[in-house]
């Protein structure tokens, strides 16, 4: 038998540089159960790596406060630990991205179910200048036990209507039933970077930093 020379294998890379209203954007989805530390770590990432933090939950709470016609519906869904219809949340995220001067976004707490995920891809196509889908560069997944998350949520003290034990149980159920499948979807595409979020804040951030190292802002 002659020598076998392996042909080079070309693997098509998924597009992770997206065009939004004519500008290139990098999107990282930040997922994890309620109380896993998404917001806390996003604040650190903003400070060190120059991303803009868009929390779906914060945008929805601001929408309630603004007196929007959807306010009562959103508030009821949040109190029940349910996921607000995608069109509402996506509009808020889309507006915030278009308004921003930045080109690097942390999208925190979204997509939280399959409907969120599919709708985000579709809606983006229709307004993106180059008809490109926004697909995340990667998904950061904060992994934490329910016991620890419950302890954190009950101690959060931000006056949230959903940080009570009854709603917390409902949010955990929604997370397992609706949000974990989204993480599994991205995991099957090798896009998930899982972090042990049960550790103290600074230790979690050490692991986060290693992941964001390629995104370090250029020196001025």
Ligand X SMILES: Nc1ncnc2c1ncn2[C@@H]1O[C@H](COP(=O)(O)OP(=O)(O)O)[C@@H](O)[C@H]1O
User: Could you tell me the smallest distance in angstroms from the CB atom of residue 208 to ligand CDP?
Assistant: 16
Q: Is 39 in the site for Mg ion (CB under 5 A)?
A: yes
Q: On the CB side of 125, how many CA atoms lie within 13 Å of its CA? A: 5
The answer to the question of whether 37 is labelled as a binding residue is yes
Asked if 35 touches ligand X (CB under 6 A), the answer is: yes
Binding of residue 32 to ligand X (CB under 6 A): yes
Query: Is 37 a residue that touches ligand CDP (CB under 6 A)?
Result: no
Full 3-state SS string of 63-96: HHHCCCCCHHHHHHHHHCCCCCCHHHHHHHHHHH
34 is a site residue for ligand X (CB under 6 A): yes
Q: Which stretch binds ligand CDP (CB under 6 A): 14-22, 33-41, 45-53, 97-105?
A: 33-41
Q: Which is nearer to ligand CDP, 100 or 178 (CB)?
A: 178
What's the CA gap between 175 and 169, in Å, rounded? 10
Number of helical H runs and strand E runs in the chain: 9, 6
Binding mask 49-78 for ligand CDP (x = CB under 6 A): ------xxx--x----------------xx
Phi, psi (degrees; rounded to nearest 5) at 152: -65, -45
- ∠ CA(75), CA(176), CA(73), 5° rounding? 15
| Binds ligand CDP (CB under 6 A): choice among 18, 31, 70, 81 | 81
Q: How many Å is the Cα radius of gyration of the chain? A: 19
* Contact (CB, 8 A) for 176 and 15: no
Does 96 bind ligand CDP (CB under 6 A)? Our answer is: no
Q: Which of 109, 142, 172, 197 binds ligand CDP (CB under 6 A)?
A: 109
Establish how many alpha carbons lie within 13 A of residue 4's alpha carbon, considering only the half-sphere containing its beta carbon. Answer: 2
57 annotated as belonging to a binding site for a ligand: no
Q: Is 106 in the site for ligand CDP (CB under 6 A)?
A: no
Residue 37 C-beta: closest distance to ligand CDP, Å: 9
- DSSP, collapsed to helix, strand or coil, labels residue 208 as helix
* Nearest to ligand CDP of 34, 138 (CB atom): 34
Beta bridge partners of 140: 30, 193
Q: Which residues are near Mg ion by CB under 5 A?
A: 38-39
Q: Which residues are near ligand CDP by CB under 6 A?
A: 34-35, 38-39, 55-57, 60, 77-78, 81-84, 89, 109-110, 112, 116, 162, 171
State the binding site for CMP.
Answer: 116
């Amino acid at each position: 038998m002659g020598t076998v020379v392996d042909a080079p294998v070309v693997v098509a890379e998924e597009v992770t540089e997206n065009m939004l209203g004519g500008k290139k954007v990098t999107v990282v989805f930040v997922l994890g159960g309620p109380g896993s530390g998404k917001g806390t770590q996003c604040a650190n990432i903003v400070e060190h790596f120059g991303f803009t933090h868009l929390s779906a939950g914060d945008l929805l709470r601001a929408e309630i406060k603004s007196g929007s016609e959807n306010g009562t519906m959103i508030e009821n869904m949040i109190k029940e630990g349910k996921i607000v219809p995608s069109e509402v949340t996506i509009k808020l995220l889309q507006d915030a991205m278009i308004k921003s001067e930045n080109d690097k976004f942390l999208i925190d707490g979204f997509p939280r179910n399959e409907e969120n995920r599919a709708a985000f891809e579709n809606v983006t196509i229709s307004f993106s200048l180059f008809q490109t889908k926004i697909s995340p560069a990667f998904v950061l997944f904060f992994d934490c036990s329910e016991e620890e998350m419950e302890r954190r949520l009950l101690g959060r003290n931000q006056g949230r209507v959903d940080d009570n034990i009854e709603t917390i149980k409902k949010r955990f159920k929604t997370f397992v039933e609706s949000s974990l499948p989204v993480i599994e979807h991205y995991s099957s595409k090798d896009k998930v970077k899982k972090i042990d979020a049960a550790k103290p804040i600074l230790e979690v951030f050490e692991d986060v930093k290693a992941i964001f190292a390629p995104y370090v802002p250029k020196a001025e």
